[in-house]
Amino acid sequence: MTEYARARYTPGPTVRIDMPTKNPLNGSQGRTRAGMLARAAKRKHLRLRTAWQCRWQCGSADPWLIHRSFRITITRISPRPLNEWDGLRAALKPVVDGIADFLATKDEDKRCTWNYAQRRGRVRESAIEILFEGDLKL
């Protein structure tokens, strides 16, 4: 990344959520009604918790709405890494939806650029870090 691209975005708040994320594509893909309802409840809980943590740690999303574009970096911290191409994005999809709820936009909004990362944590450390960056309107 060039210095111009780095300097273009102003760093904003960082939100940390202590919650494990798992790859929903691995393991048993139980197709029973109870299994599907349980998976949907877990995704909904992670989405709502992300939105509430962003509201609690950042306050209102109004200061971010003055930006032309956003860059949001979501970092998964866990003792074991996931496959970067499909497992990481699938595990962080409810988080992306929760951030979009916080910003009152959709996750496919052209103003949002989503970056995914992961790093190793200590034993039994599972968390998500969200870094907001914005391009100020001039």
Give all domains of the chain, ordered by start, each with its CATH number: 9-22+30-136 (3.30.1330)
> What's the longest Cα–Cα distance across the chain?
53
Token duo for residue 80? 């074991």
- The predicted pLDDT at position 138 comes to 42
Token duo for residue 81? 């890494």
Indicate if the pLDDT at residue 130 is higher than 70: yes
Indicate if the pLDDT at residue 4 is higher than 60: no
Q: How far is CA 15 from the centre of its chain?
A: 10
What is the pTM assigned to this prediction? 0.84
Pairing of strands 67-78, 112-120: parallel
